Structure 1
Amino acid sequence: MSTWIRARDSALYAISQGYNVFPLSIYKTPSIKSPHDKGHSCRGQCGKPGHGVHDATTDAAYARHLFDLSPRAAGYGISCGGRMVGLDLDRKNGVNGVESIYQLAAKHEFQIPQTMTVCTPSGGFHLWLSIPAGVNVPNSAGRLGPGIDVRGTGGYLVGPGSTGKAGEYTLHPKLGDVVVQSVPEQLLKLMLPKPVTRRIPRADPSPVTASRALDGLVKVVLNAPQGTRNDRLYWAAAKAWAHVDDGHMGAAEVEAALVEAAVRQGLTAGEAARTVASARRSGAAA
């Protein structure tokens, strides 16, 4: 069986279980090229494929069409947010996310449920957890602890049956295809942003003004020359977080938009999320 067929069939199985999917390249990035020039802010409103996680679908026929447009697809992404959040536990480069999550569980007195678990090529794991309706969990990188990344609204996980440059993503051999368990209440609280004291805005910006400001920062990332991507992303994120603190923008919207733009520039979702999170931490410490 070819890598492409395995990825497509695995994605179709995920759809049968109710998950939203879209094709990924062997680099774990969206495999369909954007129909727009750099600097666009479209997230699928145009109706054309090529918008990354915004292409995710539960329509099997449309998923087949997306894979037909992606003859070099090697995997598929499962969009998070809405009904599910993902924990990406890295074990590489001296960081052990598995140890970190157990330390977090012991400190905050919650149990890690035996939920759907995907083994990653680096020796880490993706844990799938269900969340209550209406809860918006933001993406984060390392905020809960070293090697722990959260995939929430606007984020995605690489699905089992996918192949990356380092190897295959497979179901945990001891757990298999199990029911996704609810996120522990204490862990959910840790995932959500901490309340911050907001400065009173000098003016009450309209939604249109805030949207244009975010679009401008996204364009900074999308137009970054080679070798400046991280620097431009960090700068744009710092500016965006300042707007969030002023109450001009939403945190989840900012993180999702900037990470997506960085992924289109060639960064991995993890790298981008870590840079955005670093900009937020630096701003909070200022």
Structure 2
Amino acid sequence: MEEVTVDLVNAFTSNGSGGNPAGVVLGADNLSDEQKLAIAKKVGYSETAFVSDDDTEDFQVSFYTITGEVDFCGHATLATFSLMFQKCILSPGQYTQRTKAGVLTVDIQSDGKVMMQQRLPEWLGNYSSEDIAPLVGIDKDVLERVNLPFQAVSTGLADLILPVPAGYLDVLRPNHDAITEFCRKHNLVGIHAFELCGSKSDYAASCRNFAPLFGIEEESATGSSSGALACYLTRYHNTQNVYLFEQGRAMNCRSEISARVDAVGSQIKVIHVGGTAQLVGIKQINLE
């Protein structure tokens, strides 16, 4: 019987609390896909990252939910590189990771903050308020007040970016079965809902993320979706390039996600998403 050590890390913490938990397995070279999935199920988090050596990049990282492998996971990437920094495996600097979403760079700053590159945005389908309203329990006329598109965007994983009017984010009533069928039909991971914050707030937007198709009814911090949202806001709302998002408030687990979009005119060139993370525990898992 083989014993595997899983580090438990909260990613996108706010002043040392909150965040989104991820499992991290270092030295995962000899684990099979089936073993990785079994470990992820036993950990029980939305994602667990598995770190292996790579022939040309610094690391190869794979990501598993409790139901299967996904191409990329932002909060698990943050958890992984923050953990290796805290364990003194890595120093501040730039590193590369091979993922199923491509080869992406990760920057570790001297204060331990991690900023990770995401893929350039893919602008996918647009949907109507009639399509979306039944999914989140809000009247279609209310949704239409925001005058922004309901569009699927991917910077590694495809999510529907859903703007809602101020004051409505916390009262959404997601229909998880309907969201699951909608995402399966349209090849989406989930729905990333947001409301814009006022000029006096430190945050550009407050967010909620629903991905029941992958066993995640709601997530307290979603890195991949935050990159997509930053690109969406740069394209449709304003031309700023630095964003701070809040997520997890409805779950009493407030998280903070930073995003930076570098663009030349209307052409987005680079996207980075990041934040801080904290090691909170260790779990030993026995493999049959």
Structure (1 or 2) with the greater helix fraction: 1
Q: Which has the higher contact order (CA 8 A, sep 6+)?
A: 2
Q: TM-score, normalised by structure 2?
A: 0.29
